[in-house]
Amino acid sequence: MTATNPNRRYLRILIVTTVYSSVLVGSLWAAYQLRFDFHIPAVDWKYFPRHLLHVVPIQLAFLLFVGQCAGLLSYFSLPDLRRLFCGLAIPSAALFTWGYFDNSNRLPSDCVLLSQFVLAFGGLCTSRLFFRVARERLLSPGGKRRQQCRRIGIIGAGDVGAALVRDLLSKRGLGMYPVAFFDDNKNKWRSRVHNVPVLGGPEMLADPRFSLYMDEVVIAMPSASAKRMKEVVTLLQRGNRRFTTVPSLDQLASGKVRASRLRPVEIEDLLGREPITLDKTNIEECLQDKVVLVTGAGGSIGSELCRQIALFNPGKLLLLDQSEVQLFLIEQELIERGYARLISPLVGDIVDEFRMRQIFQEYAPDVVFHAAAHKHVPLMEEQPAEAIKNNTMGTALLARLAQEYGVERFVMISTDKAINPTSVMGATKRLAELYVQSLHASAPERTRFMAVRFGNVLGSSGSVIPTFKRQIAAGGPVKVTHPDMTRYFMTIPEAVSLVLQSGALGSGGEIFVLDMGKPIKILDLAKQLIELCGLKAGEDIEIEYVGLRPGEKLYEELQHEGENLAPTNHPKILRFISEPLPLSWLCDQFSQMQSCLHVSKPGHLKTIMQGIVPEYKPFLKSVTEAPDRLQEIASRQTRTAKQPRCLVEVPA
C-alpha cells in the first residue's frame, strides 16, 4: 500500500463530511424558516447557533457510525438509503427524547426537529443521487454523448429485462442505450419499465420497416423454452437484425454474472429443453458428508459432475484424471468457487492398479462416479486395444476395487452407443455394463453398481458442435456425415443432474436411460449453426457430405432386445433390467481378451468382443489376418515377453 492511499481516504471522508454538514445545517435553517413562516422573531433566532451545535454533531456522529461518511458520494443504492435513514432517524429520536426532559432551550422545538429530519433525509438523498447521475451520465466513458451509444431493443420485459435496462442506464460506458421493450405478455404493452416503453410483441421486429433506428436486439428471456427461443431467433434473422442474449438462468441465479454480460445466441439455447426438477433430498442423502470420487474429473461430464456434487456438501471430493492439464483447470475453478477445503486433485490412470488401490486405501471413497473413458468413435475403431484397456478393463478394475473396499455406490457413465453397438467405443462400454451388472449380482448386499446411458452432450470436447464451429470459422465447408443422420442431444448440466438423480435412485444392478427427447438431424444442426453466425448455408458456407465412417450409425437406438423397461420415480429417467451373465465366465472372457490386446490385429479383437456381445456388429476390413496366424503370433510373443498383470479377476 502506498503512502498516498490513507491521505486519499481521509480526503474522501473530509469531502463527504463537508457535504453532509452543509445539508444538515441548511435543513435546520430551512426548518426554522418553515416553523415561523419565513419571519423568525429575534428572540427565537438567537437560539439557532446553540441548537446548531447540539443537533448537527450528533447527527454527523451517527452517520459516521453507520458508515455513510466513509462511502463514495457517487455510489448510491438501496442499502445506502437504508443506512442513511437509520443514521438520521436514530439521532432524531434521541433528540426528541432529550428535548422532552430538557427545558433549557438547548434543543429546538419538536416541530423544528421533525421538519429538520424530513428535510435532511430528502437533502442527503438528493445530493447522493446528484453525484451518482453526474458519474453515470457525465463522467463515465461514453456517457457524455448519448448519440454515440448503440440503440438497442430488448425482448422480454420481465425481471431480467428490467435488470438489464437498469445496468445499461447506470453504466453508460457499455455504449448501449435501451429504446424499447418487446414482450409476449399483452398486459405489458403500452406500459413503461424504467421509462423505456413496451411497444408490443417480438413479432413486430420481423418487419424491417419497423426499426426505431435500433442497432441491435437483446433477447432477455433466459427462462423461455427452446421452441420460443428458436421462433424469436428466426424472426430476428428474417428482419436482418443483429442480436445477442443475456446469460443463462443458472448463471444469473448464482449472482456472479450480471444481466448486462451479453453473449451471442448459442445452439444450446435453441436445442435446450425444459428445466428439470430434481429430488434434492435423495441426492443429499447420497452425497452429503460422503467421500465422493469422480474419475475423468477434467472431462466435459466429469468436470460438471464435480461442480454439481460440490453443491451438496460432500465430506471430500476426489478429482481423478490422467491429464494434469485438465485436472488443474477444474481444480482452479472449484477453488475460485470456494470449494478449496473439499477437493483433492489426484493424477492417475484408472488402469494402474497400484495407484488405484492406493487411492481407495488412503481416501476410502463412499461413492464413485466413473466418467473416465475413451469416447471418440473413429479413433477407437483403429485402435480397439486402447478402448478395451481403458473403457472395459479400467472399469472392471475400479468396480472390483470398489467392492473390495466397501464403496456404497458405483455409478458408471455409459452411452447410447452401447445399445446394439456398431463401434468399438460402444462395444467396450457394453462390456463394462455387463461386468458391473454381473459383479453386483455376485454380491448384491455389498456395493450398489449401476450404469447410466445418455446420448451426445452439447458442446462436449470432440463433439460435433465445436467441430462445426471450427469449420465455419475457417470458411467451410461444413462436413456432414449423411443428410439423414440423427442424434440425441442433451446439455451437459442436464445430463449430469440426471446422473446424480439416477445414482440416488439406484438399488443396484440397473441400467438407467435418460429421456433424451426427440432425435435431431445433424444437417439441421449444421444449418442452424451457420445461420447463428449470420451466414447462409449453401451460399456463404457450403455443406459437404462425407459418408458414414467406420463404426458410425445412421440412427441411435434406445434399448437392447431382452432388456425390460421399467419406470422410476423421476419422469425423465427409465430403468432397464436384464439377466446378468455369470461373473466367472465373463472374467474368463476378459482375461483371454486381455492376453492378446497388443498382439492381435483390430479385426481379431473386434471378433473376440462380438463373441461376448452377440448384438455387436463390428466394422471389419476386407483383408484380415486369419485367427490361427494371430494365435501363432500371440504365442510366440508371449514366450519372449512378460505378460501384463490381468486387470480382471473373479472377486473372492
> Same topology for domains 146-265 and 280-577, yes or no?
yes
Q: Annotated active-site positions, please?
A: 417
Which residues, in sequence order, are bridge partners of residue 410? Answer: 368, 449
Domain locations in the chain?
4-139, 146-265, 280-577, 585-640
Asked if the model's pLDDT at residue 254 lies above 90, the reply is no
Q: Quote the percentage of the chain above a pLDDT of 90.
A: 23
Would you state the pLDDT for residue 130?
74
Asked if the model's pLDDT at residue 492 lies above 90, the reply is no
C-alpha cell at 568: 422410476
Binning pLDDT at 50, 70 and 90, where does residue 355 land? very high
Binning pLDDT at 50, 70 and 90, where does residue 641 land? very low
CATH of domain 280-577: 3.40.50.720
Would you state the pLDDT for residue 251?
56
C-alpha cell at 361: 486405501
Would you state the pLDDT for residue 640?
38
Binning pLDDT at 50, 70 and 90, where does residue 450 land? very high
Would you state the pLDDT for residue 165?
84
For 156-284, strand residue ranges (E) read: 176-182, 192-193, 196-200, 216-219, 243-245
Which of 230-239, 431-440, 613-622: highest mean pLDDT? 431-440
Per-residue pLDDT, averaged over 370-380, amounts to 90
What confidence tens digit (pLDDT) does each residue in 470-489 have? 888 888 788 888 888 888 77
Q: Average model confidence (pLDDT) for the chain?
A: 78
- Please give the Cα distance from 362 to 356 (Å, whole number): 10
What confidence tens digit (pLDDT) does each residue in 144-202 have? 444 567 888 888 888 888 888 887 877 666 677 888 889 888 888 888 888 788 888 88
Binning pLDDT at 50, 70 and 90, where does residue 542 land? confident
Would you state the pLDDT for residue 144?
45
pTM of the entire structure?
Answer: 0.67
256-257-261 Cα angle (round to 5): 160
What confidence tens digit (pLDDT) does each residue in 494-526 have? 888 889 988 888 888 888 887 777 778 888 888
Asked if the model's pLDDT at residue 633 lies above 50, the reply is no
Task: Please report, for residues 190, 243, 263, 265, the alpha-carbon distance to residue 219 in angstroms, rounded to integers and kept in the order given.
Answer: 19, 7, 10, 9
Pick the CATH number of 146-265 from 3.40.50.720, 3.40.50.300, 1.10.3720.10, 3.40.50.1370: 3.40.50.720
Lowest mean pLDDT among 41-50, 65-74, 189-198, 496-505: 65-74
